[in-house]
Amino acid sequence: MPLLNVSNCCPHLSSLPLYIIINLLFHEPRSFIGKMNTKNIVLLLIEVMKVMKFPRNLRSWKNNNNNNNNNNKRMSMHNYGTGTFGRVLLVRERGGEQRWFALKKMSIADVRKLRQEQHVRNEKEALMEARHPFIVTLFWTHHDTRFLYMLMEYAPGGELFSYLRNLGHFCDSYSRFYAAEVVCALEFLHSRCIVYRDLKPENILLDSCGHIKLTDFGFSKKLREKTYTLCGTPEYLAPEVIQSQGHDTAVDWWALGILAFEMLSGHPPFFDDNPFGTYQKILACRIDFPKHIDIYARDIIRKLLVINRDRRLGNMKNGVEDVKKHVWFKNIDWSLVLERKLTPPIEPHVVHDGDTSNFETYPNEDPKKLPPPLSEKDLEPFKDF
């Protein structure tokens, strides 16, 4: 990744990729160079002018997603995901290795309107600490007067949900493979006192080789005590979340049980036409297994879906070891799982690192519908983002 020669005028910027420095300089000049003296500003501008072949802002990037021409001299931007108050763009660095990244772009106005400031901060805090082979890597965060930005690792294999939907349900070996990699990711998060709270097939991406990458940490939280926020996907909520009893990392082991059931059957064990009906079924905890589900798979699901969290597999005295030593995982070598040496059951069709064919297509953002810039007072909660 190319770097500007700025060690003399602003050494604190010397490790930043070139396109990030230029984008900040042209988008947010006041916040970017406000504390620099005149001499250093001039030196910085001289260095930038040496490489002015690069685009000046995000909106000038060309969408060349399906073009694997390394000689292309423009950045790329392609919308491949959308959410409640943001979207995810595929972007490519200029020069160097020309790597592809996922840029999560969130409207600050919408974040404030929905009172999601703390969730956004929680997501950044969790991902900054979560360096793990089965979790997307966060490289950089920033904000301007309209948006929050998170630059992350791009996983071109698509959502696990897409493969599950196409196949109807996974066989026992497929489900066990993905569950094993999820277990390793949860073990790591819980060792850092981070609760994930949004485990589901839609939030499990596959890399180009077929290994998982957990994404969307908007509901994650660094735990310092029990938390009481009602958040997550209704079909995956643990009973203690629904009953506002206060919850901790045990909710992720409940969600693992839901995930295992859904992978094996094609649908979650508790669902209804409305969330309240789903909650009632969760609290009743009556599980109807399809006949084809293996006896050992049924056993681990039953032990994960225990209403009393003190007796829930993964949350007892031996912690995650109880999950790893369950008979359903008897043929799993956990050291090989963590080293990504087990062969994934599904190999995604990926033409090149920036391929988006495994994701659904979404319309690009209308530049005429940009939210208005916010005042410094409104931006105050995001000053450290």
- Is-catalytic flag, 378? no
CB atoms within 10 A of CB 180: 22
Give backbone dihedrals phi and psi of 350, rounded to 5 degrees, phi first. -125, 115
Single out the catalytic residue among 110, 172, 198, 299.
Answer: 198
Give backbone dihedrals phi and psi of 358, rounded to 5 degrees, phi first. -90, 5
How many angstroms separate the CA atoms of 254 and 241, rounded? 11
DSSP string over 101-135:
EEEEEEEHHHHHHTT-HHHHHHHHHHHHH---TTB
Determine whether 154 is exposed, middle or buried from the number of CB atoms within 10 Å of its CB (0-12, 13-18, 19+).
buried
Are 177 and 211 spatial neighbours (Cβ–Cβ below 8 Å)?
A: no
Determine whether 31 is exposed, middle or buried from the number of CB atoms within 10 Å of its CB (0-12, 13-18, 19+).
middle
Q: Which residues contact 26 (CB under 8 A, 6 or more apart)?
A: 56, 57
- Which of 197, 141, 144, 155 has the alpha carbon at shortest distance from 356? 155
Q: Tell me the angle at which helices 18-27 and 38-50 cross, rounded to the nearest 10 degrees.
A: 120
Alpha-carbon 132 to chain mean position: 12
Determine whether 128 is exposed, middle or buried from the number of CB atoms within 10 Å of its CB (0-12, 13-18, 19+).
exposed
Give backbone dihedrals phi and psi of 238, rounded to 5 degrees, phi first. -80, 155
How many angstroms separate the CA atoms of 232 and 275, rounded? 12
Amino acid at 140: W
**Radius of gyration, CA atoms only, the chain:** 23
Residue with tokens 């997550």: 232
Which positions are catalytic?
Answer: 198
